[in-house]
Amino acid sequence: MSGFEPKILAFLCNWCSYSGADLAGVSRLKMPPNVRPIRVMCSGRVDPAFVLKAFASGADGVLIGGCHPGDCHYAEGNYKALRRALFLQRMLELQGVDPRRLRIEWISASEADRYAGVVADMTEIVRALGPLNLDRWEKVRIRKR
């Protein structure tokens, strides 16, 4: 797929990942421009419907960034986000969307390099998957039992 630039929507928590992304910017780290961040108070604020809506509205990938385990500003929001993400990946796969299009990462406020690395890596993965076309199933559909 030459010339395809994936659109990746990132939900980043205010207290860690968003600051990490900010630091990456301030530090002028080189990153592909494919990620559009949305700041949320906590990764636990990301309703599964937000993720589905992102895909339905044209995102090719969704990244959820939260504080490292044990560091969530609201104690357990990131664990909830983790459970939701794992669940969503299974559901997406069964609905014919490659689960690698959804990713959850723990990125602290000081981990600008890590943020830039995740963005670069995810952009490459989603680029290789190609545009999300909901009409074209990405897995052979289970035909029979």
Partner 1 sequence: MGKPKLALYWAASCGGCEIAVLDIEEKILEVDASFDIVFWPCAMDFKVKDVEAKADGEIDICLFNGGIRTSENEHMAKLLRQKSKVMVAFGSCAHEGCIPGLANLYTREGIFERIYFDTQTTNNPEKVIPRPSTKVPEGELEIPVFNERLKPLDGVVKVDYYVPGCPPQPRQVWAVLEHLIQGKPPPPVGSVLGAENKTCCDECPRTREEKKIRKFYRLHEITVDENKCLMDEGIICCGPATRSGCGALCVSAGIPCRGCYGPPPDSPDQGAKMLAALSSVIDSQDPDEIQAIINTIEDPVGTFYRFSLAHSMIERNRK
**What counts of helices (H) and strands (E) characterise the chain?**
4, 4
Task: Compute how many other C-beta atoms are within 10 angstroms of the C-beta atom of residue 3.
Answer: 4
Phi/psi for 29 (5° steps) reads -70, 145
Contact 64, 81 (CB under 8 A): yes
Alpha carbon distance 92, 35 (integer Å) = 20
Contact 38, 103 (CB under 8 A): no
Selection from partner 1, ligand FES, none that 55 binds (CB < 5 to 8 A by kind) is: partner 1
How are beta strands 8-13 and 35-40 bridged, if at all?
parallel
Among 88, 102, 109, 116, binds partner 1 (CB under 8 A): 88
User: Does residue 68 interact with partner 1 by CB under 8 A?
Assistant: no
Nearest approach in angstroms of CB 144 to partner 1 is: 6
Contact 3, 42 (CB under 8 A): no
Selection from ligand FES, partner 1, none that 80 binds (CB < 5 to 8 A by kind) is: partner 1
Give whichever of 25 and 73 is closer to partner 1, judged by the CB atom: 73
Under rule CB under 8 A, which residues in 25-54 are in contact with partner 1? Answer: 47-49, 51-53
Nearest approach in angstroms of CB 137 to partner 1 is: 8
Selection from ligand FES, partner 1, none that 141 binds (CB < 5 to 8 A by kind) is: partner 1
Site for partner 1, rule CB under 8 A:
47-49, 51-53, 55-56, 69, 76, 79-80, 82-84, 86-88, 90-92, 94-97, 134-135, 141-145
